Each structure stands twice: as structure tokens, then as C-alpha cells.
Amino acid sequence: MEFRDRFDRLHDDLRVSVTDRCNLRCSYCMPEQPVWFPRSQILDYEEMHRLIRVLAAHGVRKVRITGGEPLVRKDLDRFIHLLAGTAGIEDISLTTNGVLLQDMVQPLADAGLNRVNVSLDTLDPMRFRQLTRRDDLDQVLAGLDAAAVAGLTPLKINTVLLRGTNEDEAERFVETARDKGWEVRFIEFMPLENNGTWDLSRVVTGQEIRDRIHAGWPLDPDPSNDPSAPAARFLFRDGGGRVGFINSISEPFCGDCSRLRLTADGKFRVCLYDNAEIDLKTPLRQGASDDDLAGLIREAVLGKGRGGALEILERKERLPGTRTMHQIGG
């Protein structure tokens, strides 16, 4: 039986974080000197695969691999190969910062990766260094070109614009995206940041960015929009491609949420913002059966609330003490 919650939302989409480690240090995501999970606490690929087989047996069809930075985990192609051979899994995608993509993308595509999203918040090398505390913009751009060569198109770029930091780059992203054939998706800054700087006033809303883009490149709603997908997508009227807006704060999409999350240390979360995660690693390592694991997952899904982002919107403040994105898997 599928995993449905009390609001009859079907959960068929899993984000699996394969590591909390990262080769960048985006200041809104992690501290300069993070404390990583001890290696013994990280699930190995076989353990992750076992949980994903249980989830797939109950209707999970899509798996997005994330982190931390998933490409810093060794042998990711082996994990993708395991997923690609899993009954029920129809779509395998990856969210990466792109730094290591250039050499890895072809083996990953060969292993069965269907789609890749690359996170990139600035096209300016100096700003890239400020935002990520590393100097790797050229590698990311080379990785994007390599992903296009490997056929993982249309490439999706995830961009978070922050008020007073990089909010002026929307137009530059659009110009570059139209030239390169990328689909940029502007994501609103969410209160899961590392450094306590989230504040509604720093959120550049999708509506604001859309208005700015529309003034230069008129947009029309994309008729092929999937209403349950988080991105509201628009087509450039002149045929120059597509752009998306993930309005996670100004228009939370909790009502259609189909997502579940597994962290690298074996915790299972039903909502980005809900700290009531359950531990699957301990029962898994103590020999729980597939039915036992499915029972724990079902119970957690039945406990899922209406939606964390909706609560933030209502309270207009950050939720207390949640893990940051690199530990949950964005």
C-alpha cells in the first residue's frame, strides 16, 4: 500500500542525502568549519538501497540524490546503478553544486542518472568566492557544459537570490540561460540557513523576479506545468526557453507535497521543517524486517502536519532549532 498522509497526499518522491560533507561553504548553508557526522553514522550504499527498496515497494517512484555535496561521496555511480535496477524507481535525479561534475557526469549518466540540477547563485567570480568561500566558478561552468554533452538536458539551474547580496543577477542569469539553453529556477531563501541571517526582508520573492524578467523578456505560463511540481514555470514569449520560480516562502506548495527525505545518517523526515525525524538506521542495523521498516515509515507519514512552510508564512518568523540544509538534504 502507498504512503498517504492524513491529508490524502500521496508520497512518491524521495530526497536522499548521501553525505553531509561539501567542497563549498555557501555561507547561508554551512559554517566555515563544519562538524561532519562521524563516518560510522553514515549509511552505506547498501543500507540506503535497502530503505529505498522498502519505499519503492510502497509507491515511491522518484529519487533525487542530494547532500551536502553528493559528488564528494565516493563511487556515486555505483549507488545510481543500484537505484536504476530497483523495481518501481522510474526517475533518478541529482542536485549538485557542479564543481566535480565535469569528470563525473558521463559515468553517472551511464549508470542511469536521468536528470541533474546544478545550484549556482552567481555568475560573478568574485561574488562566487564570497558566497561559497571557494574559487570554483570555472569548474562549475565546465561541469554544466559537460552535462549538456552527456545529454542531461534541459539543464536546470537552481538560483537563490538574497536581498542585498546577489539580487541584481536575475537578468544576467536569464541572458546566460537563454544563450546556453539552461532552465533557471529562482528559489526563495528559506529559514534553514546556517548563520541565523534569515529574515523575511532578505527573501527576494519569485513574483518580484518574474516582474523584472517579464519587463525585458515577456513571459507566458507554461501550459505543460505540473500542478504538483514546486516550480511555477514560464515560457519566454519569443521561444527562448523556460524559467521557473520556486516560491517556497511566498506561495508554499505544502498542499501538494509528495516529498519524503532520508538523511545521510539514516534519519527519515516527512517535511524539511519538521524536526520530528525518525531514526531508521538503528532498526535497520538491528535487523528489522522490511515490514517493520515500512511500518515505521507509515507511522511517520501519518504524523505529517499540514506543512512547515505554511506555518512560517503564518508566523512570519523562522521555526526554532532545525538542522541546516546541508545536514537534511536540500
Q: Which residues would be at the binding site for ligand SAM (CB under 6 A)?
A: 22, 28-29, 66-67, 69, 95-97, 119, 158, 160, 187, 189-190, 192-193, 325-326, 330
Cell of 246: 520556486
Q: How far is the CB of 27 from ligand SAM (least distance, A)?
A: 10
CA dist., res. 178 & res. 120, Å (int): 16
Cell of 134: 571557494
Q: Kindly tell me which of 29 and 209 has the beta carbon lying closer to ligand SAM.
A: 29
CB under 5 to 8 A by kind: which of ligand SF4, ligand SAM, none does 42 bind?
none
CB under 5 to 8 A by kind: which of ligand SF4, ligand SAM, none does 30 bind?
ligand SF4
Q: Kindly tell me which of 30 and 284 has the beta carbon lying closer to ligand SF4.
A: 30
Q: How far is the CB of 34 from ligand SF4 (least distance, A)?
A: 9
Q: How far is the CB of 203 from ligand SAM (least distance, A)?
A: 9
CB under 5 to 8 A by kind: which of ligand SAM, ligand SF4, none does 49 bind?
none
Burial class (CB in 10 A: 0-12, 13-18, 19+), 176: middle
For residues 264 and 43, the answer to whether their CB atoms sit within 8 Å is yes
Q: Kindly tell me which of 18 and 22 has the beta carbon lying closer to ligand SF4.
A: 22
CA dist., res. 312 & res. 221, Å (int): 27
CB under 5 to 8 A by kind: which of ligand SF4, ligand SAM, none does 244 bind?
none
Looking at the DSSP assignment, which residues form a beta bridge with residue 244? 185, 233
Q: Kindly tell me which of 95 and 122 has the beta carbon lying closer to ligand SAM.
A: 95
Residue whose C-alpha cell reads 521555526 in the numeric block: 319
Q: Kindly tell me which of 5 and 208 has the beta carbon lying closer to ligand SAM.
A: 208
CA dist., res. 123 & res. 229, Å (int): 26
Label the pairing between strands 91-96 and 62-66: parallel
CB under 5 to 8 A by kind: which of ligand SF4, ligand SAM, none does 189 bind?
ligand SAM
Residues making contact with ligand SF4 (CB under 6 A): 22, 24-26, 29-30, 67-69, 97, 119, 325-326
CB under 5 to 8 A by kind: which of ligand SAM, ligand SF4, none does 25 bind?
ligand SF4
Q: Kindly tell me which of 97 and 247 has the beta carbon lying closer to ligand SF4.
A: 97
